[in-house]
Chains A and B, each alone.
Chain A
Amino acid sequence: MVAAVEPAARTAPGHGPLTPALYRVVERQVELDDVVTLSLEPEDGPAPPFAGGQFNMLTAFGVGEIAISISSAPGDPGPLRHTVRDVGAVTAALCASPVGAVVGVRGPFGTDWGVDGIDPAADAVIVAGGIGLAPLRGAVDELVARRRGTAGGGVFVLVGARSPDQVLFPPDLERWRADGAHVGVTVDAGAPGYDGPVGVVTSLLPEAPFDAERAVALVCGPEIMMRFAVRSLLERGVDPGRILVSLERNMQCGVGLCGHCQLGPLLLCRDGPVVPYGGVAEGLLGEHRR
Protein backbone atom coordinates (compact mmCIF):
# COMPACT_ATOMS: atom_id res chain seq x y z
CA MET A 1 0.00 0.00 0.00
CA VAL A 2 2.82 2.38 0.82
CA ALA A 3 4.90 3.55 -2.12
CA ALA A 4 8.62 2.89 -2.17
CA VAL A 5 10.26 4.81 -4.98
CA GLU A 6 13.97 5.49 -5.20
CA PRO A 7 14.45 9.11 -4.08
CA ALA A 8 16.99 9.89 -6.79
CA ALA A 9 14.40 9.06 -9.43
CA ARG A 10 12.01 11.66 -8.07
CA THR A 11 14.13 14.76 -8.02
CA ALA A 12 13.82 17.51 -10.58
CA PRO A 13 15.53 16.79 -13.92
CA GLY A 14 19.13 17.91 -13.88
CA HIS A 15 19.32 18.03 -10.12
CA GLY A 16 20.71 15.52 -7.67
CA PRO A 17 18.62 14.80 -4.59
CA LEU A 18 20.74 17.13 -2.47
CA THR A 19 20.61 20.13 -4.81
CA PRO A 20 17.62 22.45 -4.55
CA ALA A 21 15.82 23.44 -7.72
CA LEU A 22 14.65 27.02 -7.99
CA TYR A 23 10.92 27.64 -7.76
CA ARG A 24 9.08 30.93 -7.89
CA VAL A 25 6.19 31.84 -5.61
CA VAL A 26 3.23 32.48 -7.92
CA GLU A 27 0.56 32.77 -5.24
CA ARG A 28 0.56 33.32 -1.50
CA GLN A 29 -2.64 32.38 0.29
CA VAL A 30 -2.99 33.29 3.96
CA GLU A 31 -4.97 30.39 5.44
CA LEU A 32 -4.82 31.30 9.15
CA ASP A 33 -2.98 33.86 11.27
CA ASP A 34 0.16 31.73 11.22
CA VAL A 35 -0.45 29.47 8.21
CA VAL A 36 0.30 30.31 4.59
CA THR A 37 -0.03 28.25 1.42
CA LEU A 38 2.68 28.96 -1.15
CA SER A 39 2.01 28.01 -4.77
CA LEU A 40 5.28 27.34 -6.53
CA GLU A 41 6.30 26.94 -10.16
CA PRO A 42 9.72 25.67 -11.27
CA GLU A 43 12.07 28.13 -12.90
CA ASP A 44 13.55 25.39 -15.05
CA GLY A 45 11.60 22.47 -16.51
CA PRO A 46 8.53 20.69 -15.17
CA ALA A 47 8.02 19.84 -11.52
CA PRO A 48 8.65 16.14 -10.83
CA PRO A 49 5.62 13.95 -10.14
CA PHE A 50 4.63 13.29 -6.56
CA ALA A 51 2.02 11.42 -4.55
CA GLY A 52 -0.17 12.69 -1.74
CA GLY A 53 1.59 12.49 1.61
CA GLN A 54 5.11 13.05 0.29
CA PHE A 55 7.17 16.08 1.28
CA ASN A 56 9.70 18.46 -0.20
CA MET A 57 12.64 20.15 1.45
CA LEU A 58 12.02 23.87 1.03
CA THR A 59 14.84 26.38 1.27
CA ALA A 60 14.43 29.96 2.36
CA PHE A 61 17.74 31.19 0.98
CA GLY A 62 20.00 32.68 3.62
CA VAL A 63 17.87 31.24 6.40
CA GLY A 64 17.65 27.47 6.11
CA GLU A 65 15.86 24.41 4.82
CA ILE A 66 12.89 22.52 6.22
CA ALA A 67 10.62 19.59 5.33
CA ILE A 68 7.13 20.61 4.27
CA SER A 69 4.42 18.25 3.02
CA ILE A 70 2.93 18.86 -0.39
CA SER A 71 -0.66 20.05 -0.01
CA SER A 72 -1.79 19.98 -3.63
CA ALA A 73 -3.28 16.94 -5.36
CA PRO A 74 -1.01 14.83 -7.59
CA GLY A 75 -3.28 15.24 -10.61
CA ASP A 76 -3.66 18.97 -10.17
CA PRO A 77 -2.14 20.64 -13.23
CA GLY A 78 -1.63 23.86 -11.30
CA PRO A 79 1.38 24.95 -9.29
CA LEU A 80 2.89 22.91 -6.50
CA ARG A 81 1.38 23.92 -3.18
CA HIS A 82 2.87 23.76 0.30
CA THR A 83 1.01 24.83 3.39
CA VAL A 84 3.44 26.20 5.96
CA ARG A 85 2.90 27.04 9.58
CA ASP A 86 5.09 29.77 11.04
CA VAL A 87 6.77 28.05 13.98
CA GLY A 88 10.44 29.05 13.58
CA ALA A 89 13.02 30.99 11.60
CA VAL A 90 12.78 29.02 8.34
CA THR A 91 9.02 28.67 8.33
CA ALA A 92 8.68 32.36 9.23
CA ALA A 93 10.84 33.27 6.22
CA LEU A 94 8.84 30.94 3.94
CA CYS A 95 5.52 32.29 5.21
CA ALA A 96 6.73 35.81 4.54
CA SER A 97 7.84 35.00 0.97
CA PRO A 98 5.95 37.32 -1.38
CA VAL A 99 4.70 36.49 -4.86
CA GLY A 100 7.74 36.56 -7.14
CA ALA A 101 10.18 35.35 -4.51
CA VAL A 102 12.40 32.37 -5.29
CA VAL A 103 12.69 29.43 -2.93
CA GLY A 104 14.60 26.16 -3.17
CA VAL A 105 12.84 22.83 -3.55
CA ARG A 106 14.30 19.34 -3.15
CA GLY A 107 12.17 16.27 -3.55
CA PRO A 108 9.60 14.90 -3.47
CA PHE A 109 10.71 12.51 -0.77
CA GLY A 110 9.23 9.77 1.35
CA THR A 111 6.27 7.45 1.25
CA ASP A 112 2.72 8.43 0.39
CA TRP A 113 -0.85 7.62 1.39
CA GLY A 114 -1.09 4.93 -1.29
CA VAL A 115 -4.41 6.12 -2.68
CA ASP A 116 -3.99 3.92 -5.76
CA GLY A 117 -3.85 0.83 -3.57
CA ILE A 118 -6.98 1.55 -1.54
CA ASP A 119 -9.86 -0.80 -2.36
CA PRO A 120 -12.50 1.35 -4.12
CA ALA A 121 -15.20 -0.51 -2.19
CA ALA A 122 -13.65 0.22 1.20
CA ASP A 123 -14.62 3.28 3.19
CA ALA A 124 -11.76 5.74 3.53
CA VAL A 125 -11.60 7.46 6.91
CA ILE A 126 -9.46 10.58 7.11
CA VAL A 127 -8.62 11.84 10.60
CA ALA A 128 -6.74 15.13 10.66
CA GLY A 129 -5.76 17.47 13.45
CA GLY A 130 -4.67 21.07 12.98
CA ILE A 131 -2.07 21.55 10.25
CA GLY A 132 -2.22 17.76 9.75
CA LEU A 133 -4.95 18.32 7.18
CA ALA A 134 -2.38 19.80 4.79
CA PRO A 135 -0.51 16.55 3.98
CA LEU A 136 -3.89 14.86 3.54
CA ARG A 137 -5.49 17.40 1.24
CA GLY A 138 -4.14 15.89 -1.96
CA ALA A 139 -5.17 12.37 -0.96
CA VAL A 140 -8.67 13.52 0.00
CA ASP A 141 -8.99 15.37 -3.30
CA GLU A 142 -8.08 12.19 -5.15
CA LEU A 143 -10.37 9.96 -3.11
CA VAL A 144 -13.34 12.29 -3.41
CA ALA A 145 -12.83 12.77 -7.15
CA ARG A 146 -12.54 9.02 -7.80
CA ARG A 147 -15.59 8.12 -5.75
CA ARG A 148 -17.90 10.96 -6.77
CA GLY A 149 -21.15 9.49 -8.08
CA THR A 150 -20.00 5.89 -7.63
CA ALA A 151 -21.53 3.18 -5.48
CA GLY A 152 -18.13 2.38 -3.94
CA GLY A 153 -16.85 3.12 -0.47
CA GLY A 154 -17.45 6.46 1.15
CA VAL A 155 -14.99 9.14 2.16
CA PHE A 156 -15.18 10.29 5.77
CA VAL A 157 -13.18 13.40 6.61
CA LEU A 158 -12.95 14.09 10.35
CA VAL A 159 -11.13 17.25 11.33
CA GLY A 160 -10.08 18.65 14.67
CA ALA A 161 -8.94 22.22 15.19
CA ARG A 162 -8.04 24.49 18.06
CA SER A 163 -10.99 26.86 17.59
CA PRO A 164 -13.53 27.71 14.87
CA ASP A 165 -11.24 30.36 13.34
CA GLN A 166 -8.38 27.84 13.16
CA VAL A 167 -10.10 25.33 10.88
CA LEU A 168 -7.88 24.80 7.85
CA PHE A 169 -9.19 24.83 4.24
CA PRO A 170 -12.92 25.59 4.87
CA PRO A 171 -13.62 25.89 1.11
CA ASP A 172 -12.14 22.42 0.53
CA LEU A 173 -14.22 20.96 3.35
CA GLU A 174 -17.36 22.42 1.76
CA ARG A 175 -16.36 21.15 -1.69
CA TRP A 176 -15.72 17.64 -0.38
CA ARG A 177 -19.06 17.69 1.41
CA ALA A 178 -20.80 18.85 -1.77
CA ASP A 179 -19.09 16.02 -3.65
CA GLY A 180 -20.54 13.40 -1.33
CA ALA A 181 -17.98 13.06 1.44
CA HIS A 182 -19.05 12.87 5.07
CA VAL A 183 -17.24 15.83 6.64
CA GLY A 184 -17.13 16.40 10.39
CA VAL A 185 -15.33 19.22 12.14
CA THR A 186 -14.83 19.68 15.86
CA VAL A 187 -12.88 22.24 17.85
CA ASP A 188 -11.11 22.15 21.20
CA ALA A 189 -12.64 25.44 22.28
CA GLY A 190 -15.83 27.03 21.02
CA ALA A 191 -16.40 30.71 20.38
CA PRO A 192 -19.33 33.11 20.52
CA GLY A 193 -21.72 32.34 17.68
CA TYR A 194 -20.27 28.90 17.00
CA ASP A 195 -22.76 26.09 17.51
CA GLY A 196 -20.84 23.18 16.01
CA PRO A 197 -19.22 20.26 17.81
CA VAL A 198 -16.75 20.95 20.62
CA GLY A 199 -14.42 18.15 21.69
CA VAL A 200 -11.45 16.14 20.51
CA VAL A 201 -11.40 14.81 16.96
CA THR A 202 -12.00 11.23 18.14
CA SER A 203 -15.44 12.31 19.37
CA LEU A 204 -16.47 12.44 15.70
CA LEU A 205 -15.69 8.77 15.09
CA PRO A 206 -18.73 7.14 16.76
CA GLU A 207 -21.12 9.15 14.60
CA ALA A 208 -19.31 8.51 11.32
CA PRO A 209 -21.18 5.63 9.70
CA PHE A 210 -18.27 3.82 8.05
CA ASP A 211 -17.83 0.08 7.74
CA ALA A 212 -14.92 -0.54 10.12
CA GLU A 213 -14.28 -4.07 8.90
CA ARG A 214 -13.15 -2.90 5.48
CA ALA A 215 -12.21 0.68 6.20
CA VAL A 216 -8.82 2.21 5.53
CA ALA A 217 -7.85 5.09 7.81
CA LEU A 218 -5.39 7.89 7.05
CA VAL A 219 -4.35 9.81 10.17
CA CYS A 220 -2.24 12.94 10.44
CA GLY A 221 -1.74 15.47 13.20
CA PRO A 222 0.16 15.92 16.45
CA GLU A 223 1.37 12.52 17.64
CA ILE A 224 -0.68 12.53 20.83
CA MET A 225 -3.76 13.15 18.72
CA MET A 226 -2.75 10.30 16.41
CA ARG A 227 -2.34 7.93 19.36
CA PHE A 228 -5.86 8.70 20.54
CA ALA A 229 -7.23 8.48 17.02
CA VAL A 230 -5.59 5.10 16.45
CA ARG A 231 -6.96 3.78 19.75
CA SER A 232 -10.47 4.88 18.78
CA LEU A 233 -10.15 3.37 15.30
CA LEU A 234 -8.95 0.06 16.79
CA GLU A 235 -11.83 0.07 19.29
CA ARG A 236 -14.18 0.64 16.39
CA GLY A 237 -12.74 -2.47 14.71
CA VAL A 238 -10.45 -1.06 12.01
CA ASP A 239 -7.58 -3.44 11.20
CA PRO A 240 -4.24 -2.02 12.47
CA GLY A 241 -2.65 -2.80 9.12
CA ARG A 242 -5.22 -0.59 7.41
CA ILE A 243 -4.45 2.44 9.54
CA LEU A 244 -1.81 4.74 8.07
CA VAL A 245 -0.17 7.45 10.15
CA SER A 246 2.18 10.24 9.13
CA LEU A 247 5.23 10.46 11.38
CA GLU A 248 7.66 13.32 11.37
CA ARG A 249 11.06 13.90 12.90
CA ASN A 250 13.96 16.15 12.02
CA MET A 251 14.15 15.53 8.27
CA GLN A 252 17.36 16.94 6.82
CA CYS A 253 18.88 15.08 3.86
CA GLY A 254 15.62 13.56 2.62
CA VAL A 255 17.30 10.47 1.23
CA GLY A 256 18.12 8.38 4.28
CA LEU A 257 21.78 9.31 4.56
CA CYS A 258 22.20 11.63 7.52
CA GLY A 259 20.13 9.74 10.11
CA HIS A 260 18.65 12.81 11.79
CA CYS A 261 15.11 11.54 11.29
CA GLN A 262 15.68 8.08 12.73
CA LEU A 263 12.80 6.65 14.73
CA GLY A 264 13.51 3.12 15.91
CA PRO A 265 14.36 1.10 12.81
CA LEU A 266 12.99 3.74 10.45
CA LEU A 267 14.59 6.67 8.70
CA LEU A 268 11.42 8.67 8.34
CA CYS A 269 12.55 10.76 5.37
CA ARG A 270 12.92 7.54 3.41
CA ASP A 271 10.73 4.94 5.16
CA GLY A 272 8.09 7.50 6.13
CA PRO A 273 6.48 9.86 6.70
CA VAL A 274 3.47 7.65 5.91
CA VAL A 275 3.69 4.24 7.58
CA PRO A 276 1.14 1.59 8.52
CA TYR A 277 0.29 1.53 12.21
CA GLY A 278 0.10 -2.27 12.35
CA GLY A 279 3.56 -3.81 12.41
CA VAL A 280 5.42 -0.53 11.84
CA ALA A 281 4.24 2.49 13.84
CA GLU A 282 2.76 0.28 16.55
CA GLY A 283 5.28 0.62 19.36
CA LEU A 284 6.84 3.72 17.83
CA LEU A 285 3.83 5.88 18.66
CA GLY A 286 4.60 5.17 22.31
CA GLU A 287 4.54 7.73 25.04
CA HIS A 288 8.27 7.55 25.75
CA ARG A 289 9.63 7.56 22.23
CA ARG A 290 11.38 10.56 20.76
Chain B
Amino acid sequence: MTADLSLRLAAHRFLEGLDTEDVALLAAVARPAEFPAGTYLIREGEEADTIYFVDRGRVAIELHAPGRGPLVVETVGPGQVVGLSWVSPPFRWQFDARAAEAVGAVGVDAPALRLILAERPVLGFDLLQRLSGVLLERLQTTRVRLLDLYGDGGRR
Protein backbone atom coordinates (compact mmCIF):
# COMPACT_ATOMS: atom_id res chain seq x y z
CA MET B 1 0.00 0.00 0.00
CA THR B 2 2.73 2.48 1.04
CA ALA B 3 4.77 1.64 -2.07
CA ASP B 4 1.75 2.35 -4.24
CA LEU B 5 1.14 5.65 -2.47
CA SER B 6 4.81 6.55 -2.89
CA LEU B 7 4.50 6.02 -6.63
CA ARG B 8 1.36 8.16 -6.83
CA LEU B 9 2.92 10.93 -4.75
CA ALA B 10 6.18 10.84 -6.71
CA ALA B 11 4.20 11.21 -9.95
CA HIS B 12 2.20 14.14 -8.64
CA ARG B 13 3.04 17.50 -10.25
CA PHE B 14 3.04 19.33 -6.91
CA LEU B 15 5.80 17.06 -5.59
CA GLU B 16 7.86 16.96 -8.78
CA GLY B 17 11.58 16.56 -7.99
CA LEU B 18 11.10 15.68 -4.31
CA ASP B 19 13.65 13.16 -2.94
CA THR B 20 12.50 9.55 -2.88
CA GLU B 21 13.21 9.42 0.84
CA ASP B 22 11.01 12.45 1.48
CA VAL B 23 8.22 11.03 -0.68
CA ALA B 24 8.38 7.86 1.41
CA LEU B 25 7.98 9.93 4.59
CA LEU B 26 4.81 11.47 3.18
CA ALA B 27 3.54 8.10 1.97
CA ALA B 28 3.96 6.64 5.45
CA VAL B 29 1.27 9.00 6.75
CA ALA B 30 -0.92 8.87 3.63
CA ARG B 31 -3.99 6.96 2.54
CA PRO B 32 -5.78 6.55 -0.77
CA ALA B 33 -8.95 8.58 -1.09
CA GLU B 34 -11.82 8.11 -3.53
CA PHE B 35 -14.75 10.51 -3.72
CA PRO B 36 -17.77 9.79 -5.93
CA ALA B 37 -19.18 12.80 -7.75
CA GLY B 38 -21.18 15.02 -5.42
CA THR B 39 -19.49 13.96 -2.20
CA TYR B 40 -17.38 16.27 -0.07
CA LEU B 41 -13.65 16.08 0.60
CA ILE B 42 -13.76 18.98 3.02
CA ARG B 43 -16.43 20.80 4.98
CA GLU B 44 -16.09 24.40 6.08
CA GLY B 45 -15.43 24.73 9.81
CA GLU B 46 -14.25 21.18 10.37
CA GLU B 47 -10.71 20.31 11.46
CA ALA B 48 -8.19 20.75 8.64
CA ASP B 49 -6.58 17.37 9.05
CA THR B 50 -5.65 16.31 5.50
CA ILE B 51 -3.95 17.62 2.40
CA TYR B 52 -5.23 15.94 -0.74
CA PHE B 53 -2.99 15.38 -3.75
CA VAL B 54 -5.53 15.08 -6.55
CA ASP B 55 -4.55 12.77 -9.40
CA ARG B 56 -7.96 12.23 -11.02
CA GLY B 57 -11.16 14.21 -11.42
CA ARG B 58 -12.13 17.76 -10.57
CA VAL B 59 -12.88 19.31 -7.19
CA ALA B 60 -15.07 22.38 -6.73
CA ILE B 61 -14.03 24.74 -3.93
CA GLU B 62 -17.26 26.21 -2.62
CA LEU B 63 -18.78 28.65 -0.18
CA HIS B 64 -22.41 28.39 0.85
CA ALA B 65 -24.37 31.63 0.68
CA PRO B 66 -27.80 31.89 2.32
CA GLY B 67 -30.48 32.08 -0.34
CA ARG B 68 -27.99 31.41 -3.14
CA GLY B 69 -26.77 27.94 -2.30
CA PRO B 70 -23.22 26.77 -2.93
CA LEU B 71 -21.04 29.17 -4.92
CA VAL B 72 -18.06 27.64 -6.71
CA VAL B 73 -15.06 29.94 -6.31
CA GLU B 74 -12.54 27.73 -8.10
CA THR B 75 -12.03 24.23 -9.40
CA VAL B 76 -8.95 22.12 -8.86
CA GLY B 77 -7.83 19.21 -10.99
CA PRO B 78 -5.13 16.56 -11.39
CA GLY B 79 -1.67 17.67 -10.33
CA GLN B 80 -3.06 20.17 -7.85
CA VAL B 81 -3.68 20.07 -4.10
CA VAL B 82 -6.84 20.55 -2.10
CA GLY B 83 -6.66 21.75 1.48
CA LEU B 84 -4.28 24.48 2.63
CA SER B 85 -5.79 25.43 5.99
CA TRP B 86 -3.79 22.72 7.79
CA VAL B 87 -0.67 24.89 7.50
CA SER B 88 -1.65 27.58 10.00
CA PRO B 89 -3.80 27.75 13.15
CA PRO B 90 -6.65 27.41 13.85
CA PHE B 91 -6.42 24.42 11.44
CA ARG B 92 -10.04 24.70 10.31
CA TRP B 93 -11.27 24.45 6.73
CA GLN B 94 -12.36 27.78 5.31
CA PHE B 95 -14.29 26.37 2.34
CA ASP B 96 -16.17 23.28 1.25
CA ALA B 97 -14.51 21.05 -1.35
CA ARG B 98 -16.90 18.91 -3.41
CA ALA B 99 -16.08 16.27 -5.98
CA ALA B 100 -17.52 17.82 -9.17
CA GLU B 101 -16.76 14.47 -10.82
CA ALA B 102 -15.31 11.23 -9.45
CA VAL B 103 -12.06 12.14 -7.71
CA GLY B 104 -9.02 10.06 -6.93
CA ALA B 105 -6.46 11.50 -4.54
CA VAL B 106 -3.83 10.68 -1.98
CA GLY B 107 -4.70 12.15 1.40
CA VAL B 108 -1.78 12.93 3.71
CA ASP B 109 -2.45 13.19 7.44
CA ALA B 110 -1.84 16.87 8.22
CA PRO B 111 -1.01 16.71 11.98
CA ALA B 112 1.51 13.96 11.25
CA LEU B 113 2.90 15.94 8.33
CA ARG B 114 3.35 19.02 10.52
CA LEU B 115 5.45 16.95 12.93
CA ILE B 116 7.57 15.59 10.07
CA LEU B 117 8.15 19.06 8.68
CA ALA B 118 9.05 20.44 12.11
CA GLU B 119 11.65 17.71 12.53
CA ARG B 120 13.06 18.15 9.00
CA PRO B 121 13.37 21.86 8.31
CA VAL B 122 14.88 21.39 4.85
CA LEU B 123 11.91 19.33 3.74
CA GLY B 124 9.63 21.73 5.61
CA PHE B 125 11.03 24.71 3.73
CA ASP B 126 10.74 22.87 0.43
CA LEU B 127 7.09 21.93 0.94
CA LEU B 128 6.11 25.33 2.31
CA GLN B 129 7.81 26.96 -0.68
CA ARG B 130 5.71 24.78 -2.97
CA LEU B 131 2.57 25.63 -1.01
CA SER B 132 3.48 29.32 -1.17
CA GLY B 133 3.60 28.95 -4.94
CA VAL B 134 0.07 27.58 -4.89
CA LEU B 135 -1.12 30.37 -2.60
CA LEU B 136 0.57 33.01 -4.73
CA GLU B 137 -0.93 31.63 -7.91
CA ARG B 138 -4.41 31.51 -6.38
CA LEU B 139 -4.02 35.06 -5.04
CA GLN B 140 -2.89 36.35 -8.44
CA THR B 141 -5.60 34.59 -10.39
CA THR B 142 -8.18 35.82 -7.90
CA ARG B 143 -6.95 39.38 -8.43
CA VAL B 144 -7.22 38.94 -12.18
CA ARG B 145 -10.74 37.60 -11.86
CA LEU B 146 -11.67 40.58 -9.65
CA LEU B 147 -10.78 42.84 -12.58
CA ASP B 148 -13.69 41.32 -14.51
CA LEU B 149 -11.62 41.33 -17.70
CA TYR B 150 -14.39 39.90 -19.83
CA GLY B 151 -16.86 42.50 -18.64
CA ASP B 152 -16.61 46.21 -19.42
CA GLY B 153 -13.24 46.38 -17.65
CA GLY B 154 -11.76 44.16 -20.32
CA ARG B 155 -13.12 46.08 -23.28
CA ARG B 156 -11.10 45.30 -26.37
**CB-based contact B58/A221 at 8 Å:** no
Alpha-carbon distance A203/B134, docked complex (angstroms):
12
Complex interface: chain A residues within 8 A of B58 (CB): 197
Whether B120 is near chain A, meaning CB under 8 Å from some CB there, is: no
**CB-based contact A224/B147 at 8 Å:** yes
Alpha-carbon distance A231/B7, docked complex (angstroms):
30
Whether B20 is near chain A, meaning CB under 8 Å from some CB there, is: no
Complex interface: chain A residues within 8 A of B79 (CB): 206-207
Q: Which residue of B lies closest to A130 (CB)?
A: B150
Alpha-carbon distance A189/B58, docked complex (angstroms):
16
Shortest CB–CB separation between residue A205 and chain B, in angstroms?
Answer: 11
**CB-based contact B147/A162 at 8 Å:** no
Shortest CB–CB separation between residue B68 and chain A, in angstroms?
Answer: 8
* Among candidates A132, A199, A206, residue contacting B75 with C-beta atoms closer than 8 Å: A199
Whether B115 is near chain A, meaning CB under 8 Å from some CB there, is: no
Shortest CB–CB separation between residue A199 and chain B, in angstroms?
Answer: 5
**CB-based contact B77/A197 at 8 Å:** yes
**CB-based contact B150/A207 at 8 Å:** no
Complex interface: chain A residues within 8 A of B135 (CB): none
Shortest CB–CB separation between residue B29 and chain A, in angstroms?
Answer: 27
Alpha-carbon distance A202/B138, docked complex (angstroms):
12
Alpha-carbon distance A248/B141, docked complex (angstroms):
23
Whether A131 is near chain B, meaning CB under 8 Å from some CB there, is: yes
**CB-based contact A221/B144 at 8 Å:** no
Shortest CB–CB separation between residue A269 and chain B, in angstroms?
Answer: 15
Shortest CB–CB separation between residue B96 and chain A, in angstroms?
Answer: 13
Alpha-carbon distance A195/B101, docked complex (angstroms):
8
Alpha-carbon distance A186/B145, docked complex (angstroms):
12
Shortest CB–CB separation between residue B41 and chain A, in angstroms?
Answer: 15
CB contact list, A181-204 vs B, under 8 A: 186, 188-190, 192, 194-200, 202-203
Whether A230 is near chain B, meaning CB under 8 Å from some CB there, is: no
Whether B64 is near chain A, meaning CB under 8 Å from some CB there, is: no
**CB-based contact A225/B100 at 8 Å:** no
**CB-based contact B150/A129 at 8 Å:** yes
Complex interface: chain A residues within 8 A of B23 (CB): none
**CB-based contact B74/A198 at 8 Å:** yes
**Interface residue range, chain A:** 20 to 34
Complex interface: chain B residues within 8 A of A189 (CB): 145
Alpha-carbon distance A205/B101, docked complex (angstroms):
19
Q: Which residue of B lies closest to A168 (CB)?
A: B150
Q: Which residue of A lies closest to B37 (CB)?
A: A195
**CB-based contact A188/B101 at 8 Å:** no
CB-CB under 8 A for A199 and B141, given A132-B156, A207-B77 = yes
Alpha-carbon distance A186/B74, docked complex (angstroms):
10
Alpha-carbon distance A190/B98, docked complex (angstroms):
14
CB contact list, B39-62 vs A, under 8 A: 58, 60
CB contact list, B75-90 vs A, under 8 A: 75, 77-79
Alpha-carbon distance A81/B75, docked complex (angstroms):
35
Which of A194, A203, A207 has most B Cβ within 10 Å?
A203
CB-CB under 8 A for A198 and B154, given A129-B149, A224-B147 = no
Besides A188-B145, A198-B72, A224-B149, 16 new A-B residue pairs in contact (Cβ under 8 A), listed by A number: A87-B152, A129-B154, A130-B149, A130-B150, A162-B151, A186-B75, A188-B150, A190-B60, A190-B72, A195-B60, A195-B101, A199-B141, A207-B78, A221-B149, A224-B154, A228-B141
Between A and B, 26 residue pairs with Cβ closer than 8 Å are: A87-B152, A129-B154, A130-B149, A130-B154, A162-B150, A188-B145, A188-B148, A189-B145, A190-B73, A192-B68, A195-B100, A195-B101, A196-B75, A197-B58, A197-B77, A198-B60, A199-B74, A200-B141, A207-B77, A207-B78, A207-B79, A222-B149, A222-B150, A222-B156, A224-B147, A225-B149
A residues neighboring B (CB under 8 Å)? 87, 129-132, 160-162, 166, 186, 188-190, 192, 194-200, 202-203, 206-207, 221-225, 228, 248
B residues neighboring A (CB under 8 Å)? 13, 58, 60, 68-69, 71-75, 77-79, 100-101, 141, 144-145, 147-152, 154-156
